[in-house]
Structure 1
Amino acid sequence: MTQDRLFSRQAGASLLTVLLVLVVLAALGAAGWWGWQEFTRLKSEKSSLADQVTTVKGELASQRAQVQSALSGLEKEQAKLAAQMTKDRAALTDLKSGGQRLWLINEARALASLASQRLLLTQDALAARRLLKAADETLARLDDPAVLPARKALALDMETLSGASQVDVQGMVLRLGALRELVAELAVPAEASPPERDTPDVDLPWWQDVLDRMPVTVRRHEGAVPLPLSGEQASLVRLTLDGSLQQAQLALMQGRAEAYGQAVENARSTLEQWFRDDDPRAAQMQATLKEMGGASVAQALPQIGNGLAAIEALKRKEGGA
């Protein structure tokens, strides 16, 4: 009995020990599985955190680049503003120290140039003189002896315009245009057509009858001028007269007195040489050209420019200073 009990106790102790070992092993297995799961989860979270850190770093780098670009643009704007302020300050200093002087000289130069152009285009001496007077008044605002030579030259030009005879140049141009309209009506000595013969004249040699029927008429001219003229020659003479009148118009509009006188003389010579003396229109045109040729266009169209040249010299001197 005693041995059986002892055996039973030993068997129970062994079984308990096995159970304890199994329980411990199960606990260790459960703990290992849980630990592995936690390790896997932590590893995944770490990888996700690493990706987030990389994204955040990229965003920070982009923001840093944008900030640097904005700072660079701001620095450029500040530099530009500083340069503009320096330029404005220099312009203000120049204006205080004499910039207004150069501005007034430029204004006077523009007025003198406009006066020359006005006289050339419209032959309006009074308007050109008013422009020169405005240029002189502009220079007078400088109150500086250095501008006296330019003012003296302007005064000379103004006196030249004041002394110009008041010839109606525009009216003369219109009168020449009216004469050009009459050229087509002037009578030119023209040759007559030879009489037609239906039958040959027995009293004339046969070769004379052949010559009379030819389109070209053989004629001798004993005078210096080959008159009468053919139709083509008469048209050419009219074109020559019209061209001389047109040259006279152009010379008047350009203020070239010598060229105007030569063109009028050429027109008178053409009339006298080629057109019939008994034509009242030709006689009227001769009288008109004689009257217009005697007009003092040299004084009516004076040459100015001394004042403009003196102002330009003054401007170059100021620019060099």
Structure 2
Amino acid sequence: MTQDRLLSRQQGASLWVVLVLLVIIAAVAAGGWWGWQQLSGLYAEKTTLEQQVADLRQGQARQQQNLQASLADLQQKQQNLQSRIDSDQSALADLKSGGQRLWLINEARALASLASQRLLLTQDAAASRRLLKAADGVLARLDDPRALPARQALAADMEKLSGATRVDVQAMVLRLGALRQLATELAVPASPTPPERNLDDSKDKSLWQGLLERLPVQVRHYDGKVPLPLNDAQAAQVRLTLDGSLQQAQLALMQGRGKAYQQALDSTRATLKQWFRADDPRVAQMLAALDELGGQTVEQALPDIGAGLTAIEVLKRKEAGQ
């Protein structure tokens, strides 16, 4: 009987060991499944972030293409202006008839045309006014009452330019260039890790907590959103986006497009606030500079100064007997 009881106890103990092992295996399997689900979620977030970076690169490429097209258009305009000036100079040099009067009228016409082109390309109202004043001085040398309508039209154009808003565009463009150099030095930090919730050490850890701590995936509880740190390539892409916005602001400023200029500054501010630390002194410096640049009046009053040129052309046709 004693041997039977001992055998029965041994079988009961073995059965308990088997049950405990089954419970442990089930818990490990459940924990592994849950960990796999979390790991799958992280891979999905990584795939989404890579797609966003790809879209951002495509947008940057389109911005670069638009910028290059705009610069090519400006260069073409400058070449056309230079060709027109050369043509006018050649016409003046090859002028064989009309005498001194027609030569002076052509000179005044060339100066008035150059003033219009200068205002269109550089928005330099002061330089355009000087050119119109030089054209008026040339017409004054004619000492002819028939030139008075053209001189009156030139005077009206000069008065419009005197009232035009003047902004030091060149200084603002240079300052934006300095901000572009500063942007390359900014460090794009990974999103700061939110503080973990304090665990009550006085309580005994449950079996589940002990199993979770031994899993290969580290599980944390956060009060906010899970951070998505950026690698080096993604951080470089953020800097390229910031540089592209500043380039757009420079181009819009040179073209006198005030709305596009403000939009480019707003895009730069949004990028700084989204990806860079607000307590970084250089970030604060850039935001202050953007506020100062955005507060200046960019949309210059670009008046129509074609009346003087039209009047001179009318005078030329009358002088040539056309």
Aligned length, in residue pairs: 209
State how 1:130-209 maps to structure 2 within 5 Å: 130-144=130-144, 146-190=146-190, 203-204=211-212, 209=216
**Could you tell me which amino acid in structure 1 is paired with residue 170 of structure 2?**
Q
Structure 1's unaligned 5+ residue stretches are 1-90, 194-200, 213-218
SS in 2 for 1:297: coil
In the other structure, the counterpart of 1:114 is: 114
Higher relative contact order (Cα pairs below 8 Å, separated by 6+ residues): 2
**Could you tell me which amino acid in structure 1 is paired with residue 241 of structure 2?**
T
Q: Which has the larger radius of gyration?
A: 1
Shift of 1:288: 0.8
Equivalent pair of 1:190/1:231 in contact (CA under 8 Å): no
Shift of 1:274: 2.6
Q: For the residues of structure 1 that align with 2:276 and 2:151, how far apart are their CA atoms?
A: 54
**Could you tell me which amino acid in structure 2 is paired with residue 279 of structure 1?**
D
**Could you tell me which amino acid in structure 2 is paired with residue 204 of structure 1?**
L
1:286-306: per-residue Cα shift (whole Å, max 9, x none)?
11111111111223x635542
Asked if 1:274 is matched to 2:275, the reply is yes
Q: For the residues of structure 2 that align with 1:110 and 1:308, how far apart are their CA atoms?
A: 9
Equivalent pair of 1:248/1:261 in contact (CA under 8 Å): yes
Equivalent pair of 1:244/1:266 in contact (CA under 8 Å): yes
Shift of 1:179: 0.5
- Percent identity over paired residues: 67
Q: For the residues of structure 2 that align with 1:316 and 1:243, how far apart are their CA atoms?
A: 50
The TM-score, its normalising length taken from structure 1, stands at 0.53
State how 1:290-309 maps to structure 2 within 5 Å: 290-299=291-300, 302-306=302-306, 307-309=308-310
In the other structure, the counterpart of 1:234 is: 235
SS in 2 for 1:185: coil
Q: For the residues of structure 2 that align with 1:268 and 1:309, how far apart are their CA atoms?
A: 45
SS in 2 for 1:302: coil
Shift of 1:278: 1.4
State how 1:1-321 maps to structure 2 within 5 Å: 95=98, 99-119=99-119, 123-144=123-144, 146-190=146-190, 203-204=211-212, 209=216, 222=225, 228-299=229-300, 302-306=302-306, 307-312=308-313, 314-315=315-316, 321=322
Say what the alpha-carbon RMSD is for the aligned residues.
3.7
The TM-score, its normalising length taken from structure 2, stands at 0.53
Q: For the residues of structure 2 that align with 1:230 and 1:320, how far apart are their CA atoms?
A: 75
**Could you tell me which amino acid in structure 2 is paired with residue 151 of structure 1?**
R
**Could you tell me which amino acid in structure 2 is paired with residue 133 of structure 1?**
K
Q: For the residues of structure 2 that align with 1:273 and 1:251, how far apart are their CA atoms?
A: 23
